[in-house]
Copies of this chain bind each other. A is one copy, B any other.
């Protein structure tokens, strides 16, 4: 991918609004936009962070729209390059026409995430921060937004950088020792080396632990609601939708057999699947739906297993569920306690989907099963990204290998290699090591215009 040319894209969400913003970035930004801008001041002479009112005209000099043009001069722009933002009336026709004119004049339509990619390449942010940009934009819940913001602010990057520095320090000492090998000097004892490496491993392990809730906080928690007919699955779903701040109401599933709703409970996104049934039957018509419901249970982070006080706890169905998922993921719930004030003790929560009694407790259990006590209100480093998780695991393995190497009394050279590998695994996270493949993988998931 060429990073020397000038790129453009619509930066605001597609659709009709009061204003749309078109982004242009690269060396030619000012010169090309100037050609079609009719205002009081010359853009090329204007200072960074200034806004100019005028008309944007087409090749024939006909006005396309009144615009506000914002000028950003390198390196003080999002991308670190000369950049222009053109605000137009919020019609897709207008932005298409303006982008069309720009493209006719040597500016290229940006690839997905290319503005942020350039920001990374120009040192405006590290790779974990660049990834956080997409997470901030796509955040669907308070918790995911907070997690992404922390990452964008460099909390995770700072921690990773700290670990890298510690490894570099250990390496330096070992390499120093190698330099003076003939004199047989010892700068650091084997125990000290092991201790230092182990302390990095400990932090990495803590970070790895955060991934379990970091992931669900970022992506949301899949919850399957399973139960016999008439135990109140739909009533429960409706009650939750009413009580929680519904984010996206009622997204029909791929088929009529699984209905999906997204809700935010205490800032965490839960994706609730109302399953039809999970018991395989001879009936061909139902079979398809049952298979899909079983799939939903398998893919769930949590299963709400709903029973009611009338028919009691269904052991058979519970056993079926355990064939599909781990018992630690299942919340056993007894519904309709409004009908019978003394439910048997079976179940983690006793509720009435009708009156709402007990549902708060169910929410609490759902939250605890998801994130433990780790609701992150403070600005702590949390791993939310599988790429970071994998890199951390790799780093940990290299470090454990390094510890073994030291323990086995092998030459410092071998230890140094392990440490370098660990350090470069950590570097992958923040992008000190970044191949085009890694970058493509990351930025392909961005939207165009970011």
Residues of chain A touching chain B, judged by Cβ–Cβ distance below 8 Å, are 9-21, 23, 49-53, 63-66, 70, 72, 87, 89-91, 93-94, 115, 133, 136-142, 145, 149, 152-153, 447, 449-450
Contact partner, A449, options B18, B23, B94, Cβ 8 Å: B18
Are B450 and A18 in contact (CB-based, < 8 A)?
yes
- Of all chain B residues, the one with the shortest Cβ separation from A11 is B18
Q: How many copies of this chain are found per oligomer?
A: 2
Judge whether A19 and B17 touch: CB under 8 Å.
no
Q: Which residues of B contact A142 (CB under 8 A)?
A: 93
| A9 → B minimal CB distance (Å) | 8
CB-contact partner of A19 in B12, B15, B66, B138, under 8 A: B12
In the bound complex, do residue A137 and residue B18 qualify as a contact, i.e. CB atoms below 8 Å apart?
A: yes
The answer to whether A11 and B19 touch across the interface, beta carbons within 8 angstroms, is yes
| Residue numbers in B under 8 Å from A21 (CB-CB) | 12, 19, 21, 87
Q: How near does chain B come to A150, taking the closest CB pair, in angstroms? A: 9
Determine how close the nearest CB of chain B comes to the CB of A182; give it in whole angstroms.
Answer: 54
B63 in contact with A136 (CB, 8 Å): no
Assess whether A20 is in contact with B13, with CB atoms less than 8 Å apart: yes
In the complex, which residue of chain B has the Cβ closest to the Cβ of A12? B12
In the complex, what residues of B have CB within 8 A of residue A50's CB?
49-51
Q: Roughly how many angstroms separate A239 CA and B253 CA in the complex, as a whole number? A: 34
Contact at B12–A138, with CB atoms within 8 Å? no
Residues of B close to A137: CB separation below 8 A: 16-18, 89-91
Q: In the complex, how many angstroms separate the beta carbon of A197 from the nearest chain B beta carbon?
A: 35
A11 to B16 CA separation, bound complex (whole angstroms): 10
Q: Do B65 and A139 touch across chains, with their CB atoms under 8 A apart? A: no
* Complex Cα–Cα for A14 and B12 (A): 9
Residues of B within 8 A of A136 (CB): 65, 89, 91, 94
Known: A17-B13, A19-B21. A63 touches B449 (CB 8 A): no
**Smallest beta-carbon distance A315→chain B, Å:** 43
A447: B residues at CB distance < 8 A: 16-18
8 contacts between A and B (CB under 8 A): A11-B17, A11-B18, A12-B19, A13-B17, A16-B447, A49-B53, A65-B149, A70-B70
Cβ A15 vs Cβ B18 within 8 A: no
Please measure, in the bound complex, the distance between the C-alpha atom of A89 and the C-alpha atom of B125, giving whole angstroms.
15
Q: Are B16 and A138 in contact (CB under 8 A)?
A: yes
Q: Could you say which of B23, B51, B90, B115 contacts A51, with CB atoms under 8 Å apart? A: B51
B23→A12 contact, CB < 8 A:
no
Which residues of B have CB within 8 Å of A141? 93
Residues of B within 8 A of A13 (CB): 12-17, 20, 90
6 nearest A-B pairs in the assembled complex, by CB-CB distance: A13-B17, A13-B15, A18-B450, A18-B449, A11-B18, A49-B51
Residue from A63, A66, A91, A141 having most chain B Cβ neighbours under 10 A? A91
| Nearest-Cβ distance from residue A446 to partner chain B, whole angstroms | 9
Question: Taking CB as reference atom, which chain B residue is nearest A90?
Answer: B137
